[in-house]
Amino acid sequence: MVLKPADENTGIVFHRTDLGNDAMVKALAEYVGSTARSTTIANGEVSVSTIEHLMSALSGLGVDNAIIDIDNVEVPILDGSARYYVEALQKSGLATQAADKIFIELPHEIEVADENSGSFIRVTPCEEPSIDLTVDFGSKVLGVQKAHWDLSTDYSKELAPCRTFVFFHEIEYLFNNNLVKGGDVDNAIVIVEHPVSREQVERLSHLFNVPSLAIDDKGYLNNLKLHFPDECGRHKLLDMIGDLYLSGGLLNARIEAFKPGHSINTRMAKAIREAIK
């Protein structure tokens, strides 16, 4: 994957180089396809999946215009965070363009909810953008975690390094269904919510091809150390920033979210696109 500069008012556009010169899809909510475990955008036969961490990095650093050349369907997961995208962008540097930055002004408050899960996102017009998010998986390990972002937040230090997470009981299913071919012990926090046997841990060690995995006293697999006590909550905020960037710009709004995920995040991005037409 190669990130390339783009002209003013281009927005963020993915180019599937393996499918030809015209195989493009814009990073906008109307092109969202699947939201199963990640966010996928598609334009006809041209699709790109797992875009949320890269989109979050672009939003967090204020990148308005970019062409992203990619020779496969999936954006690299790297360490499961936005860290390496941020570091690459900071090393390259950003150019200032003549066009005004796009700030999305909403005509009214918008709320999207999921009755089955209890999740909701409420977006209220506001001159100072912010996000307040609450994560509750009903987990004794995670507990209830909260995360906050506003224009004073240092995205690169406080959010970008926060990695994705998975529950132990989900992993074997994912491996058996060929859904984590790029997974290793460095790109996911593993939460051990239910009692597991030594044999189950050894099987996971075999799947990851690493020795000596164990469960620490806080209920996490010892494959890595947390960057923050609330790293999982911060990662959900990282995801939300990436998904909401599919609305086409930075929202001048106060955002409140409870139990967000890719599905409800992108539903909100679509509702915003409809509201500002």
Check if the beta carbon of residue 237 is closer than 8 Å to that of residue 259: no
Q: In angstroms, rounded to a whole number, what is the distance separating the alpha carbons of residues 30 and 38?
A: 16
Q: In angstroms, rounded to a whole number, what is the distance separating the alpha carbons of residues 266 and 32?
A: 7
Residues 15, 53, 235, 262: which is the catalytic one?
Answer: 262
Catalytic annotation present for 262: yes
Residue 94: closest CA among 69, 60, 48: 60
Q: In angstroms, rounded to a whole number, what is the distance separating the alpha carbons of residues 185 and 223?
A: 6
Amino acid found at 274: E
CA distances from 105 to 12, 131, 132 (A): 19, 16, 19
Beta bridge partners of 217: none
Burial readout 227-263 (b: 16 or more C-beta within 10 A, e: otherwise): beebbbbbbbbbbbbbbbbbbbbbbebbbbbbbbbbb
Token pair belonging to 178: 């060929």
The SS3 call for residue 70 is: strand
Amino acid found at 3: L
Check if the beta carbon of residue 131 is closer than 8 Å to that of residue 240: yes
Token pair belonging to 92: 């390259």
Catalytic residues: 262
